[in-house]
Amino acid sequence: MLFAQGQVKTQKAQRYLKALCNHFSHKVQATYNDDRGRVDFGFGRCEMWAEAETLTFQIQAEDTDGFARVKDVVAGHLERFSGDEALQVMWID
């Protein structure tokens, strides 16, 4: 099992958490509330939580392909959703 964690500093952490989970829920299983979310992609999983000014992601996957794909999907969607804020996830494997 492969694991990574990433964080972004933003005052809109709860907003992005909800937007990401809601978006992903149209195609895969996703659950969330105001402060926590979980998305099961099939090729990997992402758990996220929002604090005052930080959005934290913890991902896991069985293999390197799924691991890279979860990172790309989560980070890519966050970058698009953040618009002018231009957020980028810094992953720590």
The CATH number that applies at residue 28 is 3.30.310.50
Calpha distance 85→10 (Å, rounded): 8
11-39 pLDDT tens trace: 999 999 999 999 999 999 999 999 999 99
pTM of the model: 0.94
| Domain carrying residue 80 | 2-92
SS3 of 54, please? strand
Type and span of the H or E element at 16: helix 13-24
Calpha distance 32→39 (Å, rounded): 9
| Domains held by the chain: number | 1
40-61 pLDDT tens trace: 999 999 999 999 999 999 999 9
